[in-house]
Amino acid sequence: MSLFNQLNEAAAQHGLRFLVIGGHAVIEHGFQRGTEDADILVCKDDRDRWQEVVLQLGYKLFHDGGTFVQYEPSDGAQWNLDLMLVPAETFDRLVSAAKPANLEGAAVVVPSLEHLLTLKVHALKHAPSLRALKDLTDVAQLVSVNRVDPKAAWLRALFEKHGTPELYERVIKLLS
């Protein structure tokens, strides 16, 4: 059974919800690229319950960064799994605008394009330099494949609120 099916079953069993983010969400929004793990966004109020679920699925804690928790499968047969923890208000806002997707035969939801771009821009502002190139490419490609006007006021405002004007200019330069 796929990881996403296992997550769906466990979430339903424990009354939990999640959104698929990261590379799988980027692919669902039209930019085909490889990914090495599965990233899900969950409500931070549910952290302990999600930890229990993930451990029951045979994962072990790899790194706990507080709001970003990474797990690896005990047997190496599944994707690595990363949990991004956000406040309930943020989680509810992202879920309310989420779009359905099908990953490995599992019905899941991914953030809307605007929310996915917001997550990526936020990661760009706060991520280690090695990840920055991947996230910058994701943002530029998502803008391009979804035919978003890179000079749209809402996109610039997104960068001003969640990133920096310099990051916005880097994306514009990539797209020109």
34 and 120, same domain (yes or no) = no
Name the domain boundary from 111, 131, 166. Answer: 111
Question: CA–CA separation, 168 vs 150, rounded Å?
Answer: 9
For residues 117-130, average pLDDT: 85
What are the strands of the beta sheet with 59-64, ordered from one edge? Answer: 19-21, 37-43, 80-86, 68-73, 59-64
Q: What is the pLDDT of residue 130?
A: 64
105 and 151, same domain (yes or no) = no
For residues 103-130, average pLDDT: 91
Question: CA–CA separation, 152 vs 5, rounded Å?
Answer: 37
Q: What is the pLDDT of residues 19-76, one digit of tens each?
A: 999 999 999 999 999 988 999 999 999 999 999 999 999 999 999 999 999 999 988 7
Q: What is the pLDDT of residue 75?
A: 82
| Cβ pair 59, 71 in contact under 8 A | yes
Amino acid making up residue 82? D
Count of domains forming the chain:
2
28 and 67, same domain (yes or no) = yes
Q: What is the pLDDT of residue 76?
A: 73
117 and 171, same domain (yes or no) = yes
Name the domain boundary from 72, 96, 111. Answer: 111
Structure tokens at 99: 């779009």
Q: What is the pLDDT of residue 51?
A: 96
Name the domain boundary from 57, 87, 111. Answer: 111
Provide the residue range defining the domain that includes 80: 1-111
Residue 65 parent element (H or E): none
